[in-house]
Amino acid sequence: MGMTIAQKLIKSHLVSGDMTRGSEVGLKIDQTLTQDATGTMAYLELEAMDIDRVKTELSVAYIDHNTLQTGFENADDHRFIQSVAKKRGVYFSRPGNGICHQVHLERFGKPGKTLIGSDSHTPTGGGIGMLAMGAGGLDVAVAMGGGTYYITMPKIVKVNLTGKLSPWVAAKDVILEVLRIMTVKGGVGKIIEYGGEGVASLSVPERATITNMGAELGATTSVFPSDEVTKAFLKAQGRESDWIELKADDDAVYDETINIDLSSLAPLAAQPHMPDRVKSVTEIGKIKVDQVCIGSCTNSSLLDMMKVAAILKGKTVCPSVSLSIAPGSKQVLNMIAQNGALSDMIDAGARILESACGPCIGMGQSPNSSGVSLRTFNRNFEGRSGTADAGIYLVSPEVAAASALTGYLTDPRDLGDFPKITLPEEFIVNDNMIEVPATPDEANDIEVLYGPNIKPFPTSEPMGESINAKAVLKVGDDITTDHIMPAGAKILPYRSNIPYLSQFCFGVCDKTFPERIKAEGKGIIIGGSNYGQGSSREHAALVPLYLGVKAVITKSFARIHCANLINAGILPLNFVNPEDYDKISQGDELSLENIRTAIASSSPAVLKNITTNETYELKYDLSERQKDIILAGGLLNYTKKSM
């Protein structure tokens, strides 16, 4: 029996375990990336491990999230990351060089390699045939130190693409269609692998758009073949020698298959407040638009920018619309500056932002109250934009640009003939904003620079024999990491200050939560399905750890967040009978008696509700390694003990 692309990548990097679906496999990691919102904590963790030099083939630290500097905090974090990177052997992409996933695709990604990043959209690298996965910062730190990265062997889903996209229909519409079919829960425990004759019609930037937003499916990752299209992209970047061919065997067997005829797709949009609330633009209708934001790691490539510029050329943005555009990298910005596309955008009335994440993570450009904002981003969670009552729609650059001109949600096919876009065979390559790390000898003289906002990694204790605590919070389905630990310009500067961040924990759900759990000293959280979906931010586990959360009991977890809870030493448990969720009220006194012995011996877990005198069966999906991590009080304690 033949192998899929994903199976080949896993097999070639297998360190431990076997490739039986549902079992834990350990993988050798070739490359890592961090960004500054998660990077400070990741490098604090690396420093706590006393690792002199990273052991990966390549590790890169990007500054792209916290680039709005309204105080010293972000600048101090950047300086800290820069000094650690220089000393420990990590390449450093300076602020202004671009968004991590766009730059990594251009300059570092290699077909056939493994990549983990402390950002959930790291699967962008699957667009060039990498096994690229989002992970918590502590997992990335361990990998940088030469440690193994563990995942549960996933199902492999083939998305079979046929036909070719019609004019005005984009790669964004492909992934929106997959989200419509699979939902934000549908990819959990799966790798999405794209194949079929339609793949050849998609450029690498288009493939990267699709794999990037595959994170919204809850998937482990997404991957495309590495073919002649991939080779041409790498050649244009001056990296043809990095190319290898990578494709599925003809007799590869998949767990599921989804068929999509590219020629049948129409322009789509995800409605507020979830990426899978997808309808066609014509079906939604001509709603008034207040703001349009174009960019993010999903849609900021040169191809995207050229399309937008061609649509705007010679026209004027509607007076009632604020249009902002953020090119994804210095390379993209430089090239549109030289070929005139930037001038076309400016002439039309666009506001040009720096090459960074910006409004995608709530770092500026919040829409007006009750406003409608069309964004080429990947997430439209409630409040993520910085405006709690805004309606955020996710669309392609084509829909975004067309709507910016008309002032209402517009099917770009109404504009007439699609403009002809020709990309150069060679891209401008200038890596002067990427700092090479010091040599081992030079590193001895480099001081790691800390700022006053950088606080130590929160400590945890080994698990006690029993956990007795109140249900301090009960939440529903699809709770995102933005609910647990919000982003935005007011909060992101404090990502390296867990005590300060703690006052915002679960603020979207219940602003009284931090004070209530502080008063209790500890607590248990009760959640619904797909708890912890969204970002890879480990702060959504570290802040609850700091506040005293001992266990989270849900109907189901999102993959990365569950791993982050384990890494933090917080016990993740699921209801055997989901209806038991309804029997627990916030404030109930709960008890997990003899839970340490149960975990250690793989015995069933039972939750006793002291308030109602009921008991509920619980289950846990922990490997032997994860059990040891939980019992040790988290991955950092476990790693120190192992070392």
Give, as one character, the DSSP assignment of residue 188.
B
Give, as one character, the DSSP assignment of residue 589.
E
Cα–Cα distances in angstroms (integers) from residue 239 to residues 34, 243, 429, in the given order: 22, 8, 10
Amino acid, single-letter form, for residue 521? G
Instruction: Please measure the distance between the N-terminal and C-terminal CA atoms of the chain and give it in whole angstroms.
Output: 40
Give, as one character, the DSSP assignment of residue 238.
T
Distance CA 343, CA 320 (A): 21
- Going by C-alpha positions, the residue among 259, 230, 252 that lies closest to residue 162 is 259
What angle in degrees, to the nearest 10, is found between the helix axes of 330-339 and 341-348?
80
Q: Bridge-partner residues for 162, per DSSP? A: 261
Write out the two tokens for 126.
């699957």
- Going by C-alpha positions, the residue among 623, 624, 589 that lies closest to residue 607 is 589
Strand order in the sheet with 190-195: 221-223, 190-195, 155-162, 256-261
Strand order in the sheet with 291-294: 278-280, 268-270, 391-394, 372-375, 291-294, 322-325, 351-352
- Going by C-alpha positions, the residue among 9, 39, 6, 21 that lies closest to residue 536 is 39
Cα–Cα distances in angstroms (integers) from residue 133 to residues 97, 140, 161, 497, in the given order: 22, 10, 23, 26
Preceding amide of 273 cis, omega within 30: yes
Catalytic residues, by residue number, are 64-65, 119, 379, 535, 537
Q: Are 324 and 294 in contact (CB under 8 A)?
A: yes
Q: Are 218 and 185 in contact (CB under 8 A)?
A: yes
Q: Are 415 and 399 in contact (CB under 8 A)?
A: no
Q: Are 151 and 220 in contact (CB under 8 A)?
A: yes
Distance CA 559, CA 61 (A): 24
